[in-house]
Amino acid sequence: MFIQCTKKLLDELKVNVVASNEVEEELLHSWHANMLKFGRKKVVVFTNDKNRYAIVLYGVKAKDFKQLDQLLLQGIERTFAAEGIIQEVIDQVTQNAGETIYSKTKNPTTVARLNKACENVEFGADMIDPDSLIQEELSQWVSSTLYGNGKNSYIYPNKQLYKDLEELSGGPIFSKGAVELKVTLELGNHSIWRRLRVPTNTSFSQFHRILQIAFGWMDSHLHDFMIYSADTDQQLVNLVSSQHAFEFQGETPMLLESEKKLSDYLPARIVYTYDYGDDWVHKIEVEKTIEDAHSNESVCLDGEGSAPPEDVGGEGGFEEFLHIIRDPNHPDYEHMMNWGLSQGYKPFNREMVNYRLRR
């Protein structure tokens, strides 16, 4: 494995380097790397020289720099698994990485590409999981961004990675399983629901983001998942988004959502609660199991109804909001319409949801 580092990163690593022209590169195992700082936290960003896929590490400490190559391999394994890539293909990549060689960055073009990835890491900083060194979701997001690749040429690094891995493996690279789920926002006087097809190896932290997109939420409040037995009301586990939530643990076992996948519990019943103030409760039911999906994409198949605007004040506040915006003669009509738009209230648009899911 060949890791070409900026001077800033080499100053932290304190390793012997070789001249890049002395190395016979295998581009799938060749990376450029840089170090950023978010406050006091050190962040290392790797980009692959063949497809520009990014791996992001957050909160890197002195001891971590001594095994940076091993952390990159762990990042590859975990992020590729989060992409839905099957383990046999991941093993082909990691086990053939070979001895690690460090070097300085190659040329201005590769440095510019690395810098662009770093800019996107900074732009997506709100996706950082502070409890994790390896940032799978941020890595996926940065790698799903459209990049210029020369004059009038553009690529999505994740799509290019898939092609490279298909060529490497000679066959399908994604896990087969998926489910169709009906997700219903429980509001007594309104029908608001989405039908989604989701890979079963999706983590619950990823599933949270899928639900946010599907309902048009703005991810500005806390949330959790409660898993129930498929045929009883017994609470099996409460999945939460951060270590801080463990301070409020009740009788139901509590686990981090990032550590569990849908396949760990389905066909159990799932309840997703978003915004403990407004208390938006989503009931999630399995409608269909798909054995041969061979895709890592989540898709909105159907749906009905617009989710309430953020911070509307729960079900009662939503009813008052609707009462006002349905009456153009109401003195607060214009104000409430503008406020609703600012809080994400808009008609359900399946095409737009799927566009955002692809991103």
Structure-block tokens of residue 319: 């009813």
Please tell me whether residues 298 and 251 are part of one structural domain: yes
Model confidence over 194-248: pLDDT tens digits?
A: 999 999 989 999 999 999 999 999 999 999 999 999 888 899 999 999 889 999 9
Cβ-contact 113, 31 below 8 angstroms = no
Please tell me whether residues 206 and 165 are part of one structural domain: no
What is the percent of the chain where pLDDT is above 90?
Answer: 79
Q: Inform me whether the pLDDT recorded for 106 exceeds 90.
A: no
Residues in the chain: 359
Cβ-contact 297, 159 below 8 angstroms = no
pLDDT of amino acid 199: 92
Please tell me whether residues 234 and 270 are part of one structural domain: yes
Model confidence over 270-323: pLDDT tens digits?
A: 999 999 999 999 999 999 999 887 788 899 999 999 999 999 999 999 999 999
Please tell me whether residues 184 and 258 are part of one structural domain: yes
Please tell me whether residues 119 and 204 are part of one structural domain: no
Please tell me whether residues 128 and 205 are part of one structural domain: no
Please tell me whether residues 66 and 193 are part of one structural domain: no
Choose the final residue of a domain: 169, 194, 210.
Answer: 169
User: Which CATH number does the domain housing residue 12 bear?
Assistant: 3.30.420
pLDDT of amino acid 332: 96
280-290 and 147-148 beta bridge pairing: unpaired
Q: Report the distance separating Cα 44 and Cα 121, nearest Å.
A: 10
Please tell me whether residues 39 and 150 are part of one structural domain: yes
- DSSP string of 59-126, one letter each residue: S--HHHHTTHHHHHHHHHHHHHHHTTB-HHHHHHHHHT--S-EEEE---HHHHHHHHHHHHHHHHTGG
Q: Is 3 exposed, middle or buried (0-12, 13-18, 19+ CB in 10 A)?
A: buried
Q: CB 288: neighbour CB atoms within 10 A?
A: 11
What is the percent of the chain where pLDDT is above 70?
Answer: 99
Mean pLDDT of the chain: 93
Please tell me whether residues 34 and 95 are part of one structural domain: yes
Q: What mean pLDDT is predicted for residues 55-75?
A: 96
Choose the final residue of a domain: 169, 195, 225.
Answer: 169
pLDDT of amino acid 151: 77
Q: Report the distance separating Cα 85 and Cα 313, nearest Å.
A: 41
Q: How many domains does the chain have?
A: 2
What's the domain range around 308? 178-358
Report whether the peptide linkage leading into residue 328 is cis, meaning its omega lies within 30 degrees of zero. no
Cβ-contact 57, 64 below 8 angstroms = yes
User: Which CATH number does the domain housing residue 256 bear?
Assistant: 3.10.290.30
Q: What mean pLDDT is predicted for residues 327-355?
A: 95
Choose the final residue of a domain: 169, 191, 213.
Answer: 169
Q: Report the distance separating Cα 165 and Cα 190, nearest Å.
A: 46
Please tell me whether residues 241 and 294 are part of one structural domain: yes
Please tell me whether residues 47 and 133 are part of one structural domain: yes
More confident call, 359 vs 49: 49
Please tell me whether residues 157 and 253 are part of one structural domain: no
